[in-house]
Structure 1
Amino acid sequence: MTLHDALKATPRLPLDEDDGPVFEAPWQARVFAMTLQAHEAGMFEWTEWAETLGAELAGDGDGSGQTPGYYDHWLSAFEKILHAKGVAGAGQLGELRQAWDEAAKATPHGAPIELKR
């Protein structure tokens, strides 16, 4: 399966007129690229990824009015597959997400976000 075929088979992936992925924010492109790199490194098959993402998207529209965006689902699915494959523990990913959120909120607009170690 080529990358183009894999992307076309990805559940509900927003594509432009040239079948390229569409992003609304830089973080979306980054998590997309990390997912592709993890797949290309052999961490998971694309069919596994599509199933994981599809399951995540299936929970969309719970009536709460707080429906996550497509790439929020993508990020959650990426975290789940990394955890399932033993690449990172759920606690590690949660702590990293929290640290990133705090650093982003504390960073002045236009300045690079830096995580404290």
Structure 2
Amino acid sequence: MAEIDPAKARRATDAVPSIPCDAEGPVFREPWEAQAFAMALALYDRGLFAWPEWATILGDEIKKAQAAGDPDTGETYYQHWLNALERMVAEKGVTDASTLRRYHDAWDHAADRTPHGTPIELKPEDFR
């Protein structure tokens, strides 16, 4: 799982109260959720966005999903987080939508060829 600084996580949960937490901080159902959370913390630390801006985009992504039929049970929270992360980096010019799609497809390809329980590694052939 991604290594997350507890003080940084606390600042994020104070700024974005919808983050699923327990008494010790954010909780994640899957390792990728912690990784997406850690990526957002790293981009925040680099000054890419302020937490209120993040909360607005995340809220927009959640509303969009709800309008499309998301049951809003909490199980899809980090999918919305990931969508907000992708949107943020595209809007800020860190990358573009085609590069995001290329990596998404490469990860799908890598996951398809990787035996269950084995870490997924991207290889050049995953980008074809």
Matched, 1:56 2:61: yes
How far residue 5 of structure 1 moved from its aligned partner, in angstroms, is 4.0
Alpha-carbon contact 1:10-1:50 (below 8 Å) kept:
yes
Match of 1:16 in 2: 22
| Alpha-carbon distance in structure 1 between the residues aligned to 2:32 and 2:111 | 12
Q: State how far apart, in whole Å, the 1-side matches of 2:62 and 2:56 are.
A: 10
Aligned residue pairs, count: 115
Higher helix share: 2
TM-score by length of 1: 0.86
What does residue 4 of structure 2 align with? none
Does residue 50 of structure 2 align to residue 45 of structure 1? yes
Letter in 1 for 2:43: A
Q: Structure 1 unaligned runs (5+)?
A: none
Residue pair 2:40, 2:85 contacting (<8 A) in 1 also: yes
Q: Is contact 2:15–2:51 with CA below 8 Å preserved after alignment? A: no
Offset of 1:61 from its aligned partner?
2.7
CA-based RMSD: 2.1
In structure 2, what is the equivalent of residue 33 of structure 1? 38
Instruction: With the length of structure 2 as denominator, give the TM-score of the two structures.
Output: 0.79
Residue 85 of structure 1 is aligned with which of 78, 86, 92?
92
